[in-house]
A = this chain, B = another copy of it.
């Protein structure tokens, strides 16, 4: 299969090692068109392949309950590095490293990095292999390059949708970040999490661009959301039901804080927290989100009511200032 390494041999080996008879394949949307080809490989090992058809946005979203309900003896999860520690079902993570070259994109990025002597590097799991090479290119040009490792994720330099700790741990020592990968999702997270200029080098389109202005616009939208939520009387505290998004104790803590602050608060738990599902609660004035922080950050216009991160809600309650929160980052990690 082109573009990504699906590690077919490793999958076969694991099935045979475990003697697995029923294997659940889970992958994010972009990889799902490959699912039937992988199912065939599973079947050559004498196992039944079940493909998870539900959306999957990260390793937080591992299909544990579903696998137990289907009597599965191996989960193969594609596209993300391990995140949730669990021993309920044997799980193989296939990180689908990208088979593309990053050189052309980095060359495009060089003019955008002008004036930044100290550069932080970060990437999603698919492009970890490229970090060393990009570091070499930039070092050869006289830049100081830092790759952070806060110890929370599987790899140094890695970022995931909700965790930018590796970037944050070197943020004070760099002038800007260079993110290796496609799309704006992770780079926007770096810019929001670190408040540093952030450049994307996209090895799929062989182009580079800055995400800094977009992050600034998003911060203005966040500030407007906070203003809109200041007078909210009834709050919905959102709890994610995916294994790596479930923070009920945190939500209960937010509820107590909200009530001390003179508001009513209700705990709403969901697997997919969408604009449509939240429309069903018309008497809620604003939501505070303890599930995936990206639910509302990337698409604030789609939700009819403000959806705040816990850090943003602290600003409303007078427990923190907007400026100080920006220093900590919109996200918790």
Contact = CB atoms under 8 A, between A and B. Distances in A.
A269 B36 contact: no
B283 A36 contact: yes
B266 A39 contact: yes
A267 interface: yes
A52 to B, nearest CB: 6
B36 A271 contact: no
Tell which of A55, A69, A252, A280 has the most Cβ of chain B within 10 Å.
Answer: A280
A51 B246 contact: no
A219 interface: no
Interface string A1-43: 0000000000000000000000010000100110110010000
Contacts of A238: 53
Contacts of A246: 69-70
A267 B70 CA distance: 12
The count of identical subunits is: 2
Nearest to A26: B269
Interface in A36-81: 36, 39, 48-55, 65-66, 68-71
Contacts of A266: 35-36, 39, 49, 51
A49 B268 CA distance: 9
Interface size class of A (residues with CB under 8 A): 35 or more
Contacts of A268: 50-53
Interface string A227-271: 000000010001101010010100010000000000010111111
A151 interface: no
A278 B70 contact: no
Tell which of A24, A29, A54 has the most Cβ of chain B within 10 Å.
Answer: A54
A282 interface: yes
A273 interface: yes
B272 A50 contact: no
A277 interface: yes
B51 A267 contact: yes
B49 A269 contact: no
Contacts of A278: 53
A284 interface: yes
A33 B271 contact: no
Nearest to A251: B50
Contacts of A32: 280-281
Contacts of A284: 36
Contacts of A267: 39, 48-51
A268 B270 CA distance: 22
Contacts of A243: 69
A282 B53 CA distance: 13
Given A36-B281, A36-B283, A52-B269, 12 more contacts: A33-B282, A33-B283, A48-B252, A48-B267, A50-B267, A50-B268, A51-B269, A52-B268, A54-B241, A54-B277, A66-B241, A271-B271
Listed from nearest, the 10 A-B pairs whose CB atoms lie closest are: A53-B270, A65-B65, A32-B280, A53-B268, A50-B267, A54-B270, A51-B268, A36-B266, A66-B241, A53-B277
